[in-house]
Amino acid sequence: MLNLAGTPPLVAMPEVESRQLIAADLRMLISQIETNMRRIATAMEQEHGSDPEGSADVFVLDDVTPRYATAIAALDAGRAGLGHALECLSEAGGSV
């Protein structure tokens, strides 16, 4: 549930300008999600790259890959939802 109690009141503006601002925010959120997905992928590579592959002396007791994979899947779902919202917005009022 959204808590909008702390948000400032919206300023009245033309519908087209409002849609453009919303679309810009959605694009920014999508970009931030993609940046975080790349960061998670880099962290996964660094953690796995620090262990010599094929070493019989290395045992991984706490594999963080499932947590990273879950985080990436959640971010991907959020990105898809935001992309859909952006699509719906553009369908509602032309190109944004």
Q: Are 90 and 23 in contact (CB under 8 A)?
A: yes
- Residues of the chain under the 70 pLDDT cut: 1-13, 49-62, 93-96
Q: Are 52 and 62 in contact (CB under 8 A)?
A: no
Write the pLDDT tens digit of every residue in 68-92.
999 999 999 999 999 999 999 988 7
Cα 96 to Cα 92: distance, rounded to the nearest angstrom: 10
Cα 76 to Cα 44: distance, rounded to the nearest angstrom: 16
- Flag whether the pTM goes above 0.75: no
